[in-house]
């Protein structure tokens, strides 16, 4: 059975969350490939605590983004909360990358831009109405939810 279409702004939010998920996974792969280079900055002490925090947050954020996209697609109210948490996690990743010195041009701007875009979408009246109004979800999805 095919799911009903989401409202345009909600679908755009879901698509941006999926894009962020895949981009985060690509950045995580690149970060793992650059781990030896980053660790050699201080060969005596090994990787710094800040670098470990960055890698830890890079591992958690794609999972949170994927969970947000999945719950948004299903129209669950938790999807809004997960989307907001995912964007806060993305902001933390950008902050951690900046403190480590790995805040690298275009990818960082792309991540920041997508995070701002999704953050604006999450607080858009159409999206809030869809997630927090039973009438909004049943009328727009064509099914009554309990």
Contact by Cβ (8 Å): 47, 38: yes
Whether 146 maps to a domain, the answer reads no
- Name the residue among 50, 48, 70, 47 with its Cα closest to residue 58: 50
Whether 121 maps to a domain, the answer reads yes
Whether 2 maps to a domain, the answer reads no
The number of distinct structural domains making up the chain is 1
Mean pLDDT calculated for residue range 134-146: 51
Predicted local distance difference test score (pLDDT) of residue 43: 63
Mean pLDDT calculated for residue range 115-137: 86
Residue-wise pLDDT tens digits, 62-101 = 999 999 999 999 989 999 999 999 999 999 988 888 887 7
Mean pLDDT calculated for residue range 97-107: 74
Range of the domain at 125: 9-140
Whether 61 maps to a domain, the answer reads yes
Whether 3 maps to a domain, the answer reads no
Q: pTM for this one?
A: 0.81
Whether 86 maps to a domain, the answer reads yes
């Amino acid at each position: 059975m095919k799911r009903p279409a989401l409202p345009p702004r909600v679908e755009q939010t879901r698509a941006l969350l999926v894009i962020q998920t895949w981009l985060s996974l690509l950045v995580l792969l690149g970060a793992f490939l650059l781990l030896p280079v980053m660790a050699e900055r201080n060969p005596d002490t090994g990787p710094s605590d800040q670098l470990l925090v960055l890698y830890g947050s890079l591992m958690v954020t794609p999972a949170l983004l994927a969970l947000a996209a999945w719950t948004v697609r299903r129209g669950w109210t938790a999807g809004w909360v997960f989307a907001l948490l995912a964007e806060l996690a993305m902001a933390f990743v950008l902050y951690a990358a900046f403190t480590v010195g790995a805040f690298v041009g275009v990818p960082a701007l792309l991540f920041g831009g997508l995070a701002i875009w999704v953050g604006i979408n999450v607080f858009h009246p159409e999206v809030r109405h869809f997630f927090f109004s039973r009438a909004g979800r049943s009328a727009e999805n064509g099914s009554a939810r309990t």
